[in-house]
Amino acid sequence: MRFRYLIGAAAAVLGLGSFASPTRAEEKPTRYRLFLETGAAWQNRNDTQIPGDTGTRFSLAKLTGSGPYAHLRLMLLYDLNARTGLRLVVAPFSLTETGVLDRDVQFEGERFQGGAQTEGSYRFNSYRVTYWYRFHRDERADWRAGLTLKVREARIALRQGNVAAAKNDLGVVPLLHLSGDYRLNDRWSLLVDFDGLAAPQGRAFDLGLSLGYALHPDWTLTFGYRTLEGGADNDRVYTFAWFNYLTVGFGYRF
């Protein structure tokens, strides 16, 4: 559901973001870290052409509007040992809005008339598992690198009166992972969280930057920014999207 701008700004303040850790001196043995992220998201680009060889390329962002929209992300980190660990991410996202196409569009075997009210829907649910290795740690910095397997559940749909068409896509994508935090002082840290890879068939980049504040050895609050960009280009589908997020976050260690 699309937010009004005032509501979206409030969501950005109340949203939740990335991972963080308390100060090194306060750390205690832990194997689990749970994090929740939400807030406001804007789509800067969302171009699609389905099928990729015979459909009409159009801007779904222009049809549905740039936002802001609500987003949600859950993340669980599990330390296998002092050097390695696993990360699980669940990040659902969807929007449905009504607008006017600026021209006739051929989409998934159906023709939609330009100048008529059209409902556009976009869904991109992301599920990820990451194996990471801690390659550097000292009194101020903690850096990890690894491999992520991402399962994407995507759907793009148009509806205009009695005419409707949708394209569903389910696939697995390998990504490289990099994450870390740099302690500024006893309470504040800079945080980085990245998954990404590019290939001739398409690309995916997800970068989160946050400022973390240790409320308690087990609780962390973060304020941040996330950008997500990527897509695919083949005969079946052409789709590229770029979203930007404002986040604030809580993490709990146990």
Stretch 145-157: mean pLDDT: 97
The reported pLDDT for the residue numbered 84 is: 97
To the nearest 5 percent, what fractions of the chain are helix, strand and coil?
A: 5, 70, 25
Q: What is the pLDDT of residues 92-138, one digit of tens each?
A: 999 999 999 999 999 999 999 999 999 999 999 999 999 999 999 99
CB 182 within 8 A of CB 212: no
The reported pLDDT for the residue numbered 142 is: 93
What mean pLDDT is reported for the chain?
89
Report whether pLDDT(12) > 50: no
The reported pLDDT for the residue numbered 201 is: 85
Domain boundaries, the chain: 5-253
Rounded to two decimals, what is the model's pTM?
0.86
CB 14 within 8 A of CB 248: yes
The reported pLDDT for the residue numbered 18 is: 40
Stretch 14-22: mean pLDDT: 39
Among 22-26, 43-47, 80-84, 115-119, which is the least confidently predicted range?
A: 22-26
Report whether pLDDT(6) > 50: no
Give the residue from 199, 195, 191, 190 showing the smallest Cα distance to 178: 195
User: Sign of the CA dihedral 17, 19, 22, 23?
Assistant: negative
Q: What is the pLDDT of residues 186-230, one digit of tens each?
A: 999 999 999 999 998 899 999 999 999 999 989 999 999 999 999
Report whether pLDDT(240) > 70: yes
**228: phi then psi, degrees, rounded to nearest 5:** -130, 125
What CATH number is given for 5-253 in this structure?
Answer: 2.40.128.90
